[in-house]
């Protein structure tokens, strides 16, 4: 879960719903993407392994709030990563390769036994994926890997911030991509644009969310509807 604390409640956004927004950004990307379908699939479904974990929220007794994706127990989180990569890779090896690279990058300097083991296993899995890819596909891996991470950040910035806000410490100073810094510019609480623009035309995104009380009850379910302007 992505968890955003508010005065008397919490806003919860499921990881897969956030990832689908990432994929929407790729669909409307201004520059050509090669291979298109496999890359958009990877970006859209990179968090599919979280679906089972996010069927309900886990309460953190120490902080007295729902557990967010950063603080979820590592063993269960890694199992979700592995399951998600397997599901994506079974349908599209190129997408599985990108997702494996994405998750493995979280553990490049991890010193835990679980983290090191996961990183090593994903390096082996990536070698198997590479054997199934064409030379032309491999030429675009690094470019599309960077695009996956950028679209992921663009979506996270919206999910971790309130409408019309850019206050989350990860993104308040902008988002770097290919040596350039990008920022969400809010025109209203429902209309925003990316500066500089990366999209081919204006489009709509929807982000479902739950409102959870401090009594641990789901008290509302709504959808943010944003117009992305060019």
CA distance 39 to 45: 10
Q: Of 66, 10, 12, whose CA–CA distance to 2 is shortest?
A: 12
pLDDT-above-90 percentage for the chain: 98
pLDDT at 64 over 90: yes
Q: What is the DSSP letter of 199?
A: B
pLDDT of residue 193: 98
Mean pLDDT throughout 225-229? 98
Tens digits of residue pLDDT in 167-196: 999 999 999 999 999 999 999 999 999 999
Residue 28 pLDDT class (50, 70, 90 cuts): very high
Between CA 197 and CA 135 the distance in angstroms is: 31
pLDDT digits (tens, 9 = 90+) for 89-113: 999 999 999 999 999 999 999 989 9
Q: Where are the alpha helices (DSSP H) in the chain?
A: 15-27, 36-44, 74-91, 93-104, 113-130, 135-139, 141-160
Euclidean distance between CA atoms 26 and 17, whole angstroms: 15
Report d(CA 42, CA 102) in Å as an integer: 10
The single-letter DSSP state of residue 57 is P
* φ, ψ dihedrals at 89, nearest 5°: -65, -30
The 10s digit of each residue's pLDDT in 119-152 is 999 999 999 999 999 999 999 999 999 999 999 9
Strands 218-229 and 191-195: parallel
Q: What is the pLDDT of residue 111?
A: 87
Domain residue extents for the chain? 2-229
**What is the 3-state secondary structure of 96-118?**
HHHHHHHHHHHHCCCCCHHHHHH
């Amino acid at each position: 879960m992505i968890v955003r604390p508010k005065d008397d409640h919490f806003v919860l956004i499921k990881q897969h719903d956030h990832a689908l927004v990432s994929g929407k950004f790729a669909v409307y990307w201004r520059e050509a993407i090669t291979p298109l379908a496999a890359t958009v699939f990877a970006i859209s479904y990179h968090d599919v392994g979280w679906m089972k974990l996010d069927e309900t929220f886990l309460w953190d007794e120490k902080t007295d709030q729902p557990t967010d994706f950063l603080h979820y127990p590592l063993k269960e989180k890694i199992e979700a990563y592995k399951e998600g990569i397997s599901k994506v890779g079974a349908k599209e090896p190129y997408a599985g390769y990108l997702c494996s690279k994405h998750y493995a990058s979280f553990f490049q300097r991890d010193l835990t036994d679980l983290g090191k083991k996961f990183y090593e296993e994903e390096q082996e899995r990536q070698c198997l994926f590479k054997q199934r890819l064409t030379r032309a596909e491999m030429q675009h891996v690094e470019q599309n890997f960077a695009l996956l991470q950028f679209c992921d950040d663009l979506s996270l910035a919206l999910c971790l911030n309130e409408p019309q806000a850019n206050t989350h410490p990860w993104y308040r100073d902008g988002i770097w991509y290919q040596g350039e810094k990008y920022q969400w510019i809010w025109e209203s609480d429902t209309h925003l644009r990316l500066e500089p623009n990366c999209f081919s035309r204006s489009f709509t995104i929807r982000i479902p969310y739950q409102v959870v009380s401090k009594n641990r009850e789901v008290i509302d379910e709504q959808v943010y509807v944003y117009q992305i302007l060019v």
